[in-house]
Amino acid sequence: MLYTHRSTLLHTFAICMPDALSLSARDVMMPVVPMFHVNAWGLPYGAAMTGCKLVMPGAGLDGKNLYELIEAEGVTTTAGVPTIWFALLQYAQRNKLRFSTLRRLIVGGSAAPEAMIRTWQDDFGVEVLHAWGMTETSPVGTVCAFKTHHASLSPGEKLALQAKQGRPLYGADLRILGADGQPAPHDGVQSGDLQIRGHWITSQYFGRPNEQSVRDGWFTTGDVATIDADGYMQITALENVAVGHPAVAEAAAVAVHHPKWDERPLLVVVKKEGASLTREELLAYFDGKVAKWWIPDDVVFVEQLPHTATGKLLKLQLRHEYQNHPLPTVQRT
């Protein structure tokens, strides 16, 4: 990607706002995100602009090293993918530890399970903030900060809202397109192809002026999502549904060969430590949450999933590993 000084500066202003990542000179920020991963989500720039202390964790990204660094440096805010926070949470729980300075945990890359959000907030007093973006959005496009009228919601309703990827920052707009290619309503129910535009959103790919991902100023993200009446966006992904199950620690959905339909989704799942879960129980959990034909055909339980250096799932590796996995030929009822 090719960035301009203007787009980077505008993105920096936006992420430092109170309803965004809310950085100030009183914060100590530790981005558990490599600099090569969209400039560590723009956080080094935000820290420099506000005078926020910046802590770089280096290669020690296990629970023990992160906990000790947070305590030693007085970290107040940190950011990374869910797998990092799940490992840190497990370490703190096993060793009966508490955090003396940590107040806010920013999650991106994939959705955090509601159970994990609840544990961080209820047991450790650490607010969990979902954010969404991609390389083409510089990267932050949305942050899930509450509005005033959400104060009256029940704890369960607040948690359900926090599970969403959030509303766009000032300077960015979102919309979804239906199957007919026209903008779909923002009712929180109808899903569509997610598009975004804004001052730090890509207008074209460098050296590829005819790229079809950008039309009329709108960039097509490749995600399928809903947007509710308050502007909160939620990615509709099979993994997001799966990790909502209280027995699931992590999940990945990959397409594998099917004798009749060419390709169908397979769910590869890591169960929480000590949890009991069957294939049938997990597939039944999808009923009513996605269209019936979206429900995966099968589930494989594994000890761990492969990840990139930034903590994202290596789906290409999983797809190669399970490309010949025999799917059931009898459709579920």
Q: Do residues 176 and 61 both lie within one domain?
A: no
pLDDT band at 148 (very low <50, low <70, confident <90, very high): very high
Say yes or no to pLDDT of 323 above 90: no
Provide the CATH number for the domain around residue 222: 2.30.38.10
Distance CA(82)–CA(78), nearest Å, equals 12
pLDDT of the residue at 309: 67
- What pTM does this model have? 0.80
pLDDT in tens, 216-268: 889 988 788 899 999 999 987 788 788 889 899 889 888 788 877 777 889 99
For residue 330, being part of any structural domain is answered with: no
What pLDDT sits at residue 1? 67
Are residues 107 and 188 both part of a single domain? no
Same domain, residue pair 34 and 161: yes
Better-predicted residue by pLDDT, 31 or 239: 31
Of the segments 122-131, 183-192, 292-301, which one has the largest average pLDDT value?
A: 122-131
Mean confidence (pLDDT) of the chain? 90
How many separate domains does the chain show?
3
Contact assessment for residue 225 and residue 192, using Cβ atoms and an 8 Å cutoff: yes
In this prediction, residue 269 has a pLDDT band, given cuts at 50, 70 and 90, of very high
Judgement on whether residues 42 and 183 belong to the same structural domain of the protein: no
Residue 330: pLDDT over 90: no
Asked whether residue 186 falls in the same domain as residue 226, the answer is yes
49 and 150 inside one domain: yes
Reading phi first (left if > 0) and then psi (alpha if -120 to 50, else beta), residue 255 is in beta
Hunting for tokens 């900060």 — which residue is that? 145
Q: Is 263 a member of any domain?
A: yes
Q: What pLDDT shows up at residue 205?
A: 79
CA atoms of 14 and 30, how far apart (whole Å): 19
Q: How far is it, in rounded angstroms, from Cα 34 to Cα 160?
A: 29
Domain range enclosing 286: 238-321
- The mean pLDDT value for 62-91 works out to 95
- Mark which of 128, 150, 168 sits at the end of a domain: 168
Residue 25 in any domain: the answer is yes
What pLDDT is attached to residue 105?
97
What is the SS3 assignment for 191?
coil
Q: Which of 142, 168, 194 is the last residue of a domain?
A: 168
